Structure 1
Amino acid sequence: MSVQSYLENLSNKLNLKQDEKEKVKKSIDTLSDRLNRYFDDQLKEHFKFGSYTRGTILPRKADPKSDVDYMVIFKNPNNYKPNTLLNYLRNFVNYYYKSSEIYRSHPTIVLELNHIKFELVPAKKDDWGTIYIPSPSSSYEDWMTTDPNAFNQKLTNANVNNSNKIKPLVRLMKYWNRENGSYLSSYQLENWIVENYYWGCNNLKDYLYSTFEKLTYNYNDPQGYKDKVDRAKKIIKKTKEYEADNMPYSAESEIKKLFPDF
C-alpha cells in the first residue's frame, strides 16, 4: 500500500459510519424533544453546531472525547447571568439523564452518553439577532458575542475549492492532534487549515505534507507540544525521502508512526 492509499483509507475510517450517525442523530432528536418539553416557552431556539454540523467530527473509536456542540438560547427576560442559565441546563440533564455522566465545564454543561458526548451551551439573543454565550471565566465580561455556524460555509467553500480534500485533511489532523494531547482546539486547528494555501497540491498526501511543513509553534507554547511538532516534521521529511528513493513500504511504515491505524 502506498502512503496515499493508506492516508485515504485512514481518513475514510475517521468519518462517522452510518450506524454511528444514526445513533447520534437519535440522541440529538431525543435531546431536542426533551428540551422543548422541559423548558416549554422559556427558550427562543436550540440547535446543534460545531464539527458535527461540518462533517469533521471524529468517531468515538478514534477520539473518546468526540462531542456534539449544542446551543440552547433562552429568552431570559430577567437578564440572568450565565451561571443561572448553566444551572437551568444542569437541572435539565439531571432530570432526564440521571444514569449518565454529567459535569460542568465552563461555559458548558457536559452530558456524556455511551456513544456520544454533548456540550450544552447556554445563550441569549438580542432583538437584532446577535447571539451571546458565557465569556471565559478569566474575562471581566459575563457575555461574549458569537456566530456559531458562520465557520461552516467557510470550510465548505475551502473544501470545494480544493477538490474536496480539506475535510479529509481536517479529520487526519484532528486525529494527529488527539494522539498528541489535543493541545490545539478543534476550531483553532480547523480554522488554521482552512486559511492555508495549498499551491501544487493534487492529492490528500500532498495536502498533508504541505500542512505539516507549514505547522509552527510559538515561543510560549509548551515544550511537549513543540517536541511533537518537530517529531512530525521529521517523520514527514523521512517519508518523502523514502518515496523519492522508491521505497514505498518503508514510506508507509514511516507515516504510520505519525498516523497509527486504529
Structure 2
Amino acid sequence: MSVNSYLSTLSSELVLSSTENTNINTSITTLSQRLNWYFNNGELHKHFQFGSNTRGTILPRTVDSKSDVDYMVVFKNPNGYKPETLLNYLKNFMHKYYSKSEIYRDSPTMVLELNHIKFELVPAVQDDWGNLSIPSKTNLLSDWMSTDPTGFNQKLITANVNNNYRLKPTIRLMKYWNTNKLGHHYSSYLLEKWIVDKYNYFTKSSIKEYVYDSIESMSYNWNDSQTFKDKIDRAKEIVSNCKSFEANDYNALALKEIKKLFPEI
C-alpha cells in the first residue's frame, strides 16, 4: 500500500460512524426540544448547532476524547445581562434535564458531557440587524465580541470543491495528528481555517501532498515549549524520510515511516 492510499483510507476511517452520527443527531434533537420547553416564555431568539460537526470535520471520540458539538443559544436579553448571568441560565437548564451527566463551565461556554458526546453550549445575544455576539475572553473593554458561527462553513465547502474534495480528508488527518501527537496544541478551528486559507487557491494532486506540505509549513514561536518544537522538527524529518524512500521506490519503508505520525486506528 502506498502512503497516499493509506492516508486516504485513514481519513475515511476518521469520519463518524453511522451509529455515532445517529446518537449525536438524536441528542441534538432532544437538546433542542428541552431548550424550547425550559425557555418557554420568549427568552430566546433561536438556538442551533455550529462548528466542526456541521462541516463534516469532527473526529470520532474513539480518536479524540475532546471531540464536541458546539451549540449556540441566542438570548433576547432585554435587560442587558452580562455573560455570567446567561451562563448561569444554561447551567440551571442543564441541571434540570441532565442532572446525572457531567456539567461544568469552560469559559465562555457551559459543557455537558454525555456518554457518547460532549456539548459546548455558548450563550449569545443578537442586535437589531441580526448580528451575533458571544462572551469575550480577551477584550477588556467589552463583555461581548461579535461572531459569525456559520460563516466559515461555506468557505470550507467552496475550498473543498476547488481542491477536488481533498481538503476535508486533509483536515481530519491533520486534526488527528494534532490530537494524538501534539496534545491538542493547535485550536481545532484555527487549524481548519489555516488549511482552508492555505490551499484556497493552491491545489495539490493528492491527499499525501496536502499532508506533506502542511507539516512542512508548520512553524513554532520562540516561546513554545522545547517539547513542542522537537515534535514539529521530528514530524518534518519523518516527511523528509518518506519522500526519500518514495523517490527510491522503498514504498514499504515510506508507509512504515508515515505511520509514526498517523498510526492505524
* Residue 205 (str. 1) matches residue 200 (str. 2): no
Q: Partners of 2:226 and 2:192 in 1: how far apart? A: 22
* Residue 227 (str. 1) matches residue 233 (str. 2): no
Q: Partners of 2:140 and 2:165 in 1: how far apart? A: 38
The amino acid of 2:197's aligned partner reads E
Q: Partners of 2:151 and 2:203 in 1: how far apart? A: 28
Q: Partners of 1:222 and 1:92 in 2: how far apart? A: 40
The amino acid of 1:121's aligned partner reads V
Q: Secondary structure at the match of 2:122?
A: strand
Maintained 8 Å contact 1:49/1:149:
yes
Shift of 1:138: 6.5
Structure 1: 4+ residue segments shifted above 6 A:
none
* Residue 146 (str. 1) matches residue 147 (str. 2): yes
Q: Partners of 2:252 and 2:86 in 1: how far apart? A: 55
The amino acid of 2:29's aligned partner reads D
Shift of 1:20: 0.9
Shift of 1:212: 1.1
1:21 — aligned with what?
21
* Residue 55 (str. 1) matches residue 56 (str. 2): yes
Equivalent residue runs for 1:103-122 within 5 Å: 103-122=104-123
Maintained 8 Å contact 2:219/2:232:
yes
1:240 — aligned with what?
243
TM-score, normalised with respect to structure 2? 0.96
**CA distance 1:157–1:65, shift in 2 (3 Å):** same
Unpaired segments of 5 or more residues in structure 1? none
Equivalent residue runs for 1:68-147 within 5 Å: 68-136=69-137, 139-147=140-148
Shift of 1:224: 2.2
The amino acid of 1:245's aligned partner reads N
Cα offsets for 1:183-239 (capped at 9, x unmatched): 110111001001113746211111111111111122232322222111110010001
The amino acid of 2:111's aligned partner reads V
Q: Secondary structure at the match of 1:195?
A: helix
Q: Partners of 1:112 and 1:98 in 2: how far apart? A: 11
Shift of 1:248: 1.1
Equivalent residue runs for 1:181-220 within 5 Å: 181-197=183-199, 199=202, 201-220=204-223
Identity of aligned residues (%): 59
1:30 — aligned with what?
30
Q: RMSD in angstroms over aligned alpha carbons?
A: 1.2
Q: Secondary structure at the match of 2:198?
A: coil
**CA distance 1:120–1:78, shift in 2 (3 Å):** same
Please say which of residues 88-97 and 217-226 is displaced more in the overlay. Answer: 217-226
The amino acid of 2:19's aligned partner reads D
Shift of 1:261: 1.2
Maintained 8 Å contact 2:163/2:203:
no
Cα offsets for 1:158-191 (capped at 9, x unmatched): 1000000000000000000001110110111001
1:39 — aligned with what?
39
